[in-house]
Every structure is written in C-alpha cells, then in structure tokens.
C-alpha cells in the first residue's frame, strides 16, 4: 500500500511543486496520476522513488517509512523516469544484468528472465546488440523491462510508453492487468489517456501542486478519463492562446 500524507516540495527558486498532497493506493490498484505540465506529477513520483527529498510530509510504502528507510523501499519498487536513459555502449543484456545484480537476483534466474522479457517485447534479436543504434521506443522497452525484472510490489511509471509502438501498448495493457491481479500497485503518470481508460481503476488529478480529484474508476461506466480531466484542469487559456497564434499565422 502507498500512503502519502501532506507532502510538500518547494524547489530552491521558491516554486511550490507539491502543496499538501495526500492520497492512498491499495494493492491491486492501477492509478492514473494526471495533470497539466508542471502540476507536480513527476515530482511526486521522484519522491516516491527516493530520487528527491520532500520539505515536509510523510510517505509509507508497504508499511515502510520512505524517509527513514529509503533503501528498503527502493528494493520493492520499479521505476521508469520521465526522461529515462540507458547506457548506449551496453547491450540490453548487459544493462539488465546490471539491474538484476543490484537486486541480488541469481544468475540462473535472471538470464532466463532477461531473455523472456526481451522476447515478450519483440527484442529477442537485439539482446546482445549495443543500444547505441536503438530507436527511442526500443530503449524505452528496455527501461520498462528494467522496472519489472525484479518483480517489484510497487511500479512507478512516468510516461513509460513514450515512443513505443502499438504492439507494445497491447503488451503493456496485458502485463498491467496481470500484475494488478497479483496485488501489485501501479502508479502511472501520462498524457496519453487512451491507455488509462483501459487499465486504470483509480484516478488522481493534480492541479498546481494540489489534488483536485481522487476517485476510483470503472471502465464499465462508459465515462472517459479525458472528460473527467477536463472538469478539473482548466485549458481555456491555452486554447485562447493557440487560437490567437493560429489567427496570426494564417493572416500573415
């Protein structure tokens, strides 16, 4: 379970990224974490992943206090950052082997896991090729595998499908359903809402560092997440600006 209580994050330029954020996510829940750019989504996920410190507040993950025992928490999470990077000189096998060794996975176990995951993501022919020649989508697949290969209880994904193809979207959809059925928690931040409509059972929306919506979501209700988001994130100013720019372009 993830318990976040009154989380505050203020950056050195006095910009408040999170202003008293509180929420809970239960085992088996797939939570879409949404909001406009700058709302505080990536900041929250980086704090939960132990990449950033908070100014105040508290976080418990599976009853472990993140701020007191960050190393214990890091062992049970899988993380794909918003702008992830791989080591281009390494092969996927080398990179994933490195990840497995960090988590003390036995070689007899991790070799098969690496090969199986690479096949699932249609990369079986690239297992031992340097990633310097990989497309963005191929590198993203390797990062997704790295977040899952140690069988974490908590999966934190920040725009995980950036650049990946349609088939990978289908693979991810099936994987998420399987993982959630086993009690895994998935916190999924993205601007691509079509996927969330199909996999989420909980939605949290941030606006200017505050939670403005936190509710469970049923795909069977026929309500699209986009319609929920429109109610809580004001896009009128952006639309007016875009209309003005467009008018200037076509009149020049």
Question: Is 129 a domain residue?
Answer: no
Number of domains in the chain: 1
Question: Is 65 a domain residue?
Answer: yes
Spell out a b/e string for 213-243, using b for 16 or more CB atoms within 10 Å of the CB, else e: beeebeeeeeeebeebbeeebeeeeeeeeee
In the chain, where does DSSP find H-type helix?
A: 41-48, 70-74, 92-102, 107-120, 136-148, 166-181, 193-199, 225-232, 236-251
Q: pLDDT tens across 225-238, in order?
A: 888 888 887 655 44
Question: Is 131 a domain residue?
Answer: no
Q: pLDDT tens across 8-25, in order?
A: 999 998 999 999 999 999
Which residues span the domain enclosing 32? 2-84+152-251
Question: Is 104 a domain residue?
Answer: no
Question: Is 124 a domain residue?
Answer: no
CATH of the domain at 211: 3.40.50.300
pLDDT of residue 183: 97
Q: What's the predicted TM-score (pTM) here? A: 0.90
Question: Is 127 a domain residue?
Answer: no
């Amino acid at each position: 379970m993830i318990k976040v209580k009154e989380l505050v994050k203020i950056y050195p330029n006095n910009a408040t990224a999170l202003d008293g954020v509180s929420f809970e996510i239960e085992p088996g829940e797939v939570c879409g974490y949404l909001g406009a750019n700058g709302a505080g989504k990536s900041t929250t996920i980086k704090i939960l992943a132990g990449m950033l410190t908070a100014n105040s507040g508290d976080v418990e993950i599976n009853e472990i206090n993140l701020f007191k025992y960050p190393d214990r928490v890091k062992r049970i999470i899988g993380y794909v950052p918003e702008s992830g990077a791989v080591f281009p000189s390494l092969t996927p096998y080398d990179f994933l082997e490195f990840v497995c060794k960090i988590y003390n996975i036995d070689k007899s176990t991790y070799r098969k896991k690496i090969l199986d995951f690479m096949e699932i993501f249609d990369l079986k022919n690239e297992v031992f090729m340097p990633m310097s020649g990989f497309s963005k989508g191929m590198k993203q697949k390797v990062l997704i595998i790295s977040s899952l290969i140690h069988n974490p209880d908590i999966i934190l994904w920040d725009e995980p499908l950036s650049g990946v193809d349609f088939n990978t979207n289908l693979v991810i959809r099936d994987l998420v359903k399987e993982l959630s059925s086993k009690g895994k928690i998935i916190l999924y931040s993205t601007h691509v809402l079509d996927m969330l409509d199909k996999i989420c059972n909980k939605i949290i929306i941030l606006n200017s560092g505050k939670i403005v919506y936190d509710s469970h979501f049923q795909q069977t209700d026929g309500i699209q997440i986009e319609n929920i988001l429109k109610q809580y994130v004001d896009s009128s100013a952006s639309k007016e600006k875009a209309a003005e720019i467009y008018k200037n372009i076509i009149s020049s």
